[in-house]
A and B are shown apart, each in its own frame.
Chain A
Amino acid sequence: MTAARALDDAGAPPARQRPPGRRGFGAMRAGQPMIRDRLALFSLLGAAIVASLLAVIFIGQFRSLAQHARSVEGLHFGQHIDRLIFAIAREREVVQGAASIGPNLERRHAAARRAVDEAAATLQGFLRSAPSVAEALEGDPSLPHLPAYLARLRTRIDHQVMNDGTAEALYSEAVRQLFRVAGSVEERCVAPGLGARTGRLLNVAMLVDEFSRQSSLLRRIEHRSLGGVLTQERAVLAPLLDSKLRSDHMLAMLASHSDPEVAAQARAVRNTSAHRSIQDFTDKVSLSAWSASFRPRWSALLEDADKLVDMTQESRQRLAMEFIGIAERQAAATRSGMVAVTALGALLVATMCIALWLLYRSIARPLGAIAEAAQAAVAGHLDVSIAYRGQDEVGHLAQALQVLIDTIARFDGEMGRARDGVARGDLTVRADGSRFHGAWRALIDRFNDTLGEFAAVHRLFQRQAFHHPDSGLPNRLGLAHRLAEQGPPHTPCSVFLLLLVRLEDLTATLGADFAAGLVASLARRLEARFDGRYVIAQVSDREFALVCLDAPAAAALEEAAGAIVRACDEPLDHGDALMATPGRVGVATGTLAELDALLTNAAIASRRACQHVRPGYVVHDEHYRLQREKARRIELALPQAIARRELSMVYQPVVDARSGDITGFEALMRWRLPGGDAVPPLDFIRIAEDTGHILALGEMALRTACGSFMQPAVRAAFPKALLSVNVSPRQLMETDFVGTIRDVLDASGLPPRLLALEITESAFMDDPDICIERITALRAMGVHIYLDDFGTGYSSLSYLTRIPVDVLKIDQSFVRGRTGDPANRRIVAAMVKLAHSMGITPLAEGVESAGERDWLLSMGCQRHQGYLYAKPAPIEEHVAVQQACAPGVPGGG
């Protein structure tokens, strides 16, 4: 026995009994070291958190970088679109100043348009390489349609005379839309990265556009003034004043800007001589302060206007460059930040990995080894040794556990030796291997002897319980045990029950010991012949059972049974005698589970086998058993039926075949069960005969029939008819029958001459003298005597001469369906003749056809009874039929 078993026997510690799967993650791998799992889990979690943190930081940084990239892209886009806007403004200017330029017009037109186209192409090219801006502008139709718009505008200008104002407005529409696009890019790409301060960029750009517009308007005015005296057309002057108002407003806004540099630049622009010059001009125009001959210095004015445009544009470019610089610096800062975060993250992860590895190596792994050793020890492997030899706490734990396991192993060895000794019955050896001595030794010896005696007695009792003392074969109990070992309950089997028929005689004559010896010899023979094929047992003093674990076909069964019978028939050599003990065999087949029933059935069959000489065996028949059961049920039910009056009387008329008159009725008994089923009279009458119930039945029949017959209606219908009642032999012989008849007649008031008693021949068998005496006495009272069932039993014609019989009832077996048989005719004719010769009236039963009637009449038998005339029925029915056939005429005969 191992230590583990010992632990189990002693009751395992609660921790081991706890079902697995209750302790979360560790228990998912039941039996695995948990610390290692936890360390792995913590490593995973730590790594996930650190990685997520880094990812968040990285994503943030990447986004920030992307934002800077977008800002730079947006700023570059701003520069490109500015260039385009100014190119368009320049083209507008050229169209405006068309006439004043004179001979260079075509060239300047072409140059301006080329500049616009180049700027547009550059912008489109830039857009292809600037996905963020393209994304921000997705869905905006202005830029993609700009070339088409410009192309149409130019075509229109080239082919048609276009109003100056219209051309200006249509070009300005393009500029306006481009400013809108620039503003939208600024808002979506630049502002998120650099903040709202970039808005001033757009303001400056618009200022530049305004100055450029002023320049072109001045040209137009100069054109209208033909370079001389200022034109007075308000329509030409008004746009300039409007534009000036707008530019002043923008300048004022920029001058008060929070960014000091922008404000300073705005103020610087305001203070330039060019700006002042334009200011002077517009002041004069607006105040109408010029004289009719006011001739502005046109070339200086136009130059100043251009200068103003250039100056502000430069300023704008500078601002844009500054913003680009800011964005790029921010991007660089972000990039270096990302490098730092990467390094820091890597360092953190590495440190964590090393720390976890150290933890694993110094704690988790040695603890795992210790746990494994402990589990092995618990499982019974006590020869383990723990490899870890560290000098830390875990090392001390390992050493202590090693000592514990070694100690348990030593104890286990000693206990094992002691246990083995006890198992051998050797109590003299101590647990440590030494032996007991002295008084202890004596006590142990005596104890051992007593144990030996107990064992012998036990063996004896066991033998007696399971074996028959005569043959030494297993008895009924032993057979059951033996068979139970042979196979499962549903195993088919055949039981041959051998009944020794002469054994009782032998016991009585030659003594029990002799008989027992004979049985023992027979048992040896049976063993010698059939052992191996059968399990043989002696189930009672004179019965052997041979059970074969097979249920062969009927022929094989019979052959086997024949062999057993033959084995018994051979004489046995016992003592001085050579003697046979013949047996009869009953055979039953079934399964092992039904053994008891099989034995019983086989016993019944063996009893039946005794009724015949040959063949000496009977195979159990289920139908026979059922018949017996049915008879048993009827026997049990009969007394109750009598008490409950389930038995009733019916009457079958006896007819004079020549006249057709009813001469009498035979009272017959019927048994109808409460369920409506009728029990055949033959069945229950015979059983009642066997059981003695016939006495009560017979008396009841007599009393009932006589009572019924004395009813006034019956008497009126059949005044001369005789009532015949069947009397059983036992009734006649075992009771004071004559007295009973007298009582009945007295009680019913039936005249004795109207009563006939039907007696069978078998009534004479037991004691003919008493029988004849009683019949004679009855006859003396006037009662008629009918001899029933004549010709079927032990017909002894001699009785006829001694018994005073009135009527001879020829049994229906001679009548029904036998008219064609000449031999039968001879017998019946003889019986009729015999009756006539003795003065007895013959009466034929079972007449069912007119042929039979005529056949009987031809032989001289006039009294008939049978279905041809009437079926047995309650007397009331017969009365009713009689009254119906002959109303008012009383029947009789």
Chain B
Amino acid sequence: MKIPTVLTPVAALSCALLVLAGLVLQLHHLEGAFGPTRPAVADARRVTLLTAFSIQDSARYQEAFAQFEKDTGIEVTLRAAGGDFADHVYVATPGFDAPDIGLFAQPGLFRDMMAAGFVQPLPPDLSAQVQRDFPAFLDPLLGHEGRRHGVWARVAIKSLVWYRRALFERYGFAVPTTDRQLAALERAMIRRGFTPWCVGVAARGATGWVATDWVEEFMLRQAGAGDYDRWVAGDLPFSAPPVRTAFAAWDRMVHTPGMVDGGVAGVLGTQVEEAARRFASDPAPCLMMRNSEWVVSEFPEGMPVGPADAIDFFVLPGRSAAHTELLVAGDIAAALNTRPETMAVLRHMASADFARRRAAAGAYLSAHAQVTPNSYADPLSGRLAEVWRRASVMRMDASDLMPPAVGTAAFWTAMIDHLQGSPVPDATAGIDRAWRRWRAAQEIGSPPAGSAPAAAAPQGRQP
């Protein structure tokens, strides 16, 4: 019954299995060409900081973040938006290169963005830490509806007068300690053929802020902190006498012949940075310039700054030598989304460690309680920290505190208009109008900066 056959069932089965295995392999090979390749995962470890910094400042921050990047693997990128900062924050949308953290140089803009929901609140522990480590007078600026939304990344003293110390010494000018002494000094300089001040109000996207600073300085010193606060809150209109007095002081400054370098046209046409460069150039076109310490970076290479050097600073004097009023500014770092990386960077920025590293990079002043004057590497910063500590009255830049529509729009443009010839009442009336419009907008409930963005979701993913 047995039929001899080469193809036994076992052999046949083996052949079939072999063929099937081949087919399966073939199918598997086809699989590779099948379906679209998955999109590459967005670089989740990158955190973008949107700033209004100069290139130098960006470089210093980048330097301060270097260790953090090494420790955590998070890549911190700084993007300078200059005067378009608000625009960029406003349109920040996932998928369109949205920044993760905004460094708000203007507390007013920050407040509006916070109110409109563009900014994420801090986690409770970080919030407590911020409350503990930063000055109480700055704290209210961070809060909205009972929650803190930002971290003080940097503060700056605006009321600094840089002067040509060597020339002062050579020509026998003394550093003034009261506003009367300052006025006398100015007169003496003009009399002796020197130009006291270098002022330039032009700035990329922010022309006018130097002028508003001067008005604020006069407000704080002449009207006092109480009126200043009412003015900032909008309770004291621009048309009120104390404000007009401040405007008058400014007018005296720019319109007194020989008082400012280049006269009114020079003030209008000179960039802020350019003014700083001119002040530090030789021969000196002027002997003094009022601005924050950032201007030092604009001074020419090798121009020494210090109590025994060519250039030094004194605090813009007030009514008495014993009473120091400081106009200050600050950068608030705030999260635009809740990615863990974002929060990690923010947390780092709130730490004393970051402040010290950033201080080591220079041109920096921290409001952090644990950062003492000794923490600063360069003596200038240490001295500035000392000034910060000794100040009897400190107030945040008013134009920054006011709603952006007022402080950084109407106020700025009004100052330019005034410089170009518009009378004071017109200029102040225009700002007051802006105030009223802003209030009206608040009352009818439409947020000044539109609705809250959908930027809460981590970048790179759909909500």
State whether the Cβ of A156 lies closer than 8 Å to any Cβ in chain B. yes
In the assembly, what is the distance between CA of A141 and CA of B19, in Å?
A: 46
In the assembly, what is the distance between CA of A169 and CA of B82, in Å?
A: 13
State whether the Cβ of A184 lies closer than 8 Å to any Cβ in chain B. yes
In the bound complex, do residue B39 and residue A146 qualify as a contact, i.e. CB atoms below 8 Å apart?
Answer: no
Please give me the residue from chain A that is nearest to B460 by CB atom.
A141
In the bound complex, do residue A148 and residue B20 qualify as a contact, i.e. CB atoms below 8 Å apart?
Answer: no
Residues of B near A45 (CB, < 8 A) are: 12-13, 15-16
State whether the Cβ of A29 lies closer than 8 Å to any Cβ in chain B. no
In the bound complex, do residue A144 and residue B91 qualify as a contact, i.e. CB atoms below 8 Å apart?
Answer: no
Which of A140, A141, A149 neighbours the largest number of chain B CB atoms within 10 Å of its CB?
A141
**What's the minimum C-beta distance from A379 to chain B, rounded to whole angstroms?**
14
Residues of A293-336 whose CB lies within 8 A of B: none
In the bound complex, do residue B454 and residue A148 qualify as a contact, i.e. CB atoms below 8 Å apart?
Answer: yes
In the bound complex, do residue A177 and residue B97 qualify as a contact, i.e. CB atoms below 8 Å apart?
Answer: yes
State whether the Cβ of B409 lies closer than 8 Å to any Cβ in chain A. yes
State whether the Cβ of B96 lies closer than 8 Å to any Cβ in chain A. yes
- Interface code A153-191, partner B: CB below 8 Å = 1, 0 otherwise? 101100111110110011001100100000010011100
In the bound complex, do residue A144 and residue B462 qualify as a contact, i.e. CB atoms below 8 Å apart?
Answer: yes
In the assembly, what is the distance between CA of A374 and CA of B2, in Å?
A: 13
Residues of A near B19 (CB, < 8 A) are: 49, 52
Residues of B near A184 (CB, < 8 A) are: 39
In the bound complex, do residue A70 and residue B27 qualify as a contact, i.e. CB atoms below 8 Å apart?
Answer: no
Which listed residue, A38, A70, A132, touches B9 by the CB 8 Å rule? A38
Choose, from B28-36, B245-253, B324-332, the stretch at the interface.
B28-36
In the assembly, what is the distance between CA of A161 and CA of B90, in Å?
A: 13
State whether the Cβ of A25 lies closer than 8 Å to any Cβ in chain B. yes
In the bound complex, do residue A156 and residue B87 qualify as a contact, i.e. CB atoms below 8 Å apart?
Answer: yes
Which of B33, B87, B462 neighbours the largest number of chain A CB atoms within 10 Å of its CB?
B87
In the bound complex, do residue B12 and residue A41 qualify as a contact, i.e. CB atoms below 8 Å apart?
Answer: yes
Report if A139-B462 is in contact (Cβ < 8 Å); known contacts: A52-B20, A192-B33.
yes
State whether the Cβ of A142 lies closer than 8 Å to any Cβ in chain B. yes
**What's the minimum C-beta distance from A84 to chain B, rounded to whole angstroms?**
14
Which of B2, B91, B461 neighbours the largest number of chain A CB atoms within 10 Å of its CB?
B91
State whether the Cβ of B10 lies closer than 8 Å to any Cβ in chain A. yes
State whether the Cβ of A612 lies closer than 8 Å to any Cβ in chain B. no
In the assembly, what is the distance between CA of A139 and CA of B450, in Å?
A: 27
- Interface code B25-56, partner A: CB below 8 Å = 1, 0 otherwise? 01100100111110101000000000000000
Which listed residue, B3, B30, B453, touches A59 by the CB 8 Å rule? B30
In the assembly, what is the distance between CA of A38 and CA of B6, in Å?
A: 12
Residues of A21-56 whose CB lies within 8 A of B: 24-26, 34-35, 37-38, 41-42, 45, 48-49, 52-53, 55-56
State whether the Cβ of A136 lies closer than 8 Å to any Cβ in chain B. yes
**What's the minimum C-beta distance from B315 to chain A, rounded to whole angstroms?**
35
State whether the Cβ of A840 lies closer than 8 Å to any Cβ in chain B. no
**What's the minimum C-beta distance from B108 to chain A, rounded to whole angstroms?**
14
**What's the minimum C-beta distance from B459 to chain A, rounded to whole angstroms?**
7
In the bound complex, do residue A142 and residue B95 qualify as a contact, i.e. CB atoms below 8 Å apart?
Answer: yes
Residues of B near A374 (CB, < 8 A) are: 1
Which listed residue, B33, B34, B83, touches A163 by the CB 8 Å rule? B83
In the bound complex, do residue A177 and residue B36 qualify as a contact, i.e. CB atoms below 8 Å apart?
Answer: no
In the assembly, what is the distance between CA of A474 and CA of B86, in Å?
A: 134
In the bound complex, do residue B8 and residue A173 qualify as a contact, i.e. CB atoms below 8 Å apart?
Answer: no
Residues of A near B1 (CB, < 8 A) are: 15, 34, 371, 374
In the assembly, what is the distance between CA of A138 and CA of B40, in Å?
A: 11
State whether the Cβ of B353 lies closer than 8 Å to any Cβ in chain A. no
In the bound complex, do residue A48 and residue B20 qualify as a contact, i.e. CB atoms below 8 Å apart?
Answer: yes
Report if A166-B39 is in contact (Cβ < 8 Å); known contacts: A45-B12, A141-B462.
no
In the assembly, what is the distance between CA of A15 and CA of B1, in Å?
A: 10
**What's the minimum C-beta distance from A30 to chain B, rounded to whole angstroms?**
12
Residues of A near B12 (CB, < 8 A) are: 41-42, 45
In the bound complex, do residue B95 and residue A153 qualify as a contact, i.e. CB atoms below 8 Å apart?
Answer: no
Please give me the residue from chain B that is nearest to A48 by CB atom.
B16
In the bound complex, do residue A155 and residue B462 qualify as a contact, i.e. CB atoms below 8 Å apart?
Answer: no
Residues of A near B27 (CB, < 8 A) are: 56, 59
**What's the minimum C-beta distance from B439 to chain A, rounded to whole angstroms?**
16
State whether the Cβ of B94 lies closer than 8 Å to any Cβ in chain A. yes
In the bound complex, do residue A149 and residue B96 qualify as a contact, i.e. CB atoms below 8 Å apart?
Answer: yes
Residues of A near B83 (CB, < 8 A) are: 163
**What's the minimum C-beta distance from B174 to chain A, rounded to whole angstroms?**
44
In the bound complex, do residue B39 and residue A137 qualify as a contact, i.e. CB atoms below 8 Å apart?
Answer: yes
In the assembly, what is the distance between CA of A140 and CA of B87, in Å?
A: 23
Please give me the residue from chain B that is nearest to A70 by CB atom.
B36
In the bound complex, do residue B95 and residue A145 qualify as a contact, i.e. CB atoms below 8 Å apart?
Answer: yes
In the assembly, what is the distance between CA of A15 and CA of B2, in Å?
A: 10
State whether the Cβ of B84 lies closer than 8 Å to any Cβ in chain A. yes
Q: Which size bracket describes the interface of A in this complex?
A: 35 or more
In the bound complex, do residue B90 and residue A152 qualify as a contact, i.e. CB atoms below 8 Å apart?
Answer: yes
Report if A146-B36 is in contact (Cβ < 8 Å); known contacts: A48-B16, A56-B27, A139-B461.
no
In the bound complex, do residue A140 and residue B39 qualify as a contact, i.e. CB atoms below 8 Å apart?
Answer: yes
Report if A166-B23 is in contact (Cβ < 8 Å); known contacts: A141-B95, A174-B96.
no
In the bound complex, do residue A177 and residue B39 qualify as a contact, i.e. CB atoms below 8 Å apart?
Answer: no
Please give me the residue from chain B that is nearest to A137 by CB atom.
B39
Residues of A near B461 (CB, < 8 A) are: 139, 141
In the bound complex, do residue A177 and residue B95 qualify as a contact, i.e. CB atoms below 8 Å apart?
Answer: yes
State whether the Cβ of A566 lies closer than 8 Å to any Cβ in chain B. no
In the bound complex, do residue A63 and residue B39 qualify as a contact, i.e. CB atoms below 8 Å apart?
Answer: no
In the assembly, what is the distance between CA of A174 and CA of B92, in Å?
A: 11
State whether the Cβ of B178 lies closer than 8 Å to any Cβ in chain A. no
- Interface code A48-74, partner B: CB below 8 Å = 1, 0 otherwise? 110011011001100100110010000
Residues of B near A138 (CB, < 8 A) are: 39
In the bound complex, do residue B36 and residue A135 qualify as a contact, i.e. CB atoms below 8 Å apart?
Answer: yes
Report if A140-B8 is in contact (Cβ < 8 Å); known contacts: A70-B36, A156-B450.
no
Which listed residue, B9, B15, B453, touches A24 by the CB 8 Å rule? B9
In the bound complex, do residue A163 and residue B95 qualify as a contact, i.e. CB atoms below 8 Å apart?
Answer: no
Residues of B near A269 (CB, < 8 A) are: none
Residues of A near B9 (CB, < 8 A) are: 24-26, 37-38, 41
In the assembly, what is the distance between CA of A288 and CA of B457, in Å?
A: 49
- Interface code B162-191, partner A: CB below 8 Å = 1, 0 otherwise? 000000000000000000000000000000
**What's the minimum C-beta distance from B94 to chain A, rounded to whole angstroms?**
4
- Interface code B197-241, partner A: CB below 8 Å = 1, 0 otherwise? 000000001000000000000000000000000000000000000
State whether the Cβ of A834 lies closer than 8 Å to any Cβ in chain B. no
State whether the Cβ of A771 lies closer than 8 Å to any Cβ in chain B. no
In the assembly, what is the distance between CA of A625 and CA of B348, in Å?
A: 111
In the bound complex, do residue B95 and residue A149 qualify as a contact, i.e. CB atoms below 8 Å apart?
Answer: yes
**What's the minimum C-beta distance from B75 to chain A, rounded to whole angstroms?**
19
**What's the minimum C-beta distance from B29 to chain A, rounded to whole angstroms?**
10
In the bound complex, do residue B39 and residue A141 qualify as a contact, i.e. CB atoms below 8 Å apart?
Answer: no
In the bound complex, do residue B8 and residue A24 qualify as a contact, i.e. CB atoms below 8 Å apart?
Answer: yes
In the assembly, what is the distance between CA of A481 and CA of B389, in Å?
A: 133
State whether the Cβ of B131 lies closer than 8 Å to any Cβ in chain A. no
Residues of B348-371 whose CB lies within 8 A of A: none
In the assembly, what is the distance between CA of A189 and CA of B35, in Å?
A: 8
Residues of B near A15 (CB, < 8 A) are: 1-2
In the bound complex, do residue B95 and residue A144 qualify as a contact, i.e. CB atoms below 8 Å apart?
Answer: yes
**Residues of A in contact with B (beta carbons under 8 Å apart):** 15, 24-26, 34-35, 37-38, 41-42, 45, 48-49, 52-53, 55-56, 59-60, 63, 66-67, 70, 132, 135-146, 148-149, 152-153, 155-156, 159-163, 165-166, 169-170, 173-174, 177, 184, 187-189, 192, 371, 374
**Residues of B in contact with A (beta carbons under 8 Å apart):** 1-3, 5, 7-10, 12-13, 15-16, 19-20, 23, 26-27, 30, 33-37, 39, 41, 83-84, 86-88, 90-91, 93-97, 205, 409, 448-450, 453-454, 459-462
14 CB < 8 A contacts A-B: A25-B9, A26-B9, A45-B15, A48-B20, A52-B19, A137-B39, A141-B95, A142-B96, A144-B462, A152-B453, A160-B86, A166-B84, A173-B96, A174-B96
Q: A56-B26, A166-B87, A166-B205 are in contact. List 19 more A-B contacts (CB 8 A).
A: A35-B3, A38-B5, A45-B12, A60-B30, A70-B36, A139-B462, A141-B459, A144-B462, A145-B454, A148-B453, A152-B91, A159-B448, A160-B86, A160-B409, A162-B87, A163-B87, A166-B88, A189-B36, A371-B1
- Nearest first, the 3 closest Cβ-Cβ pairs linking A and B are A141-B95, A142-B95, A188-B36
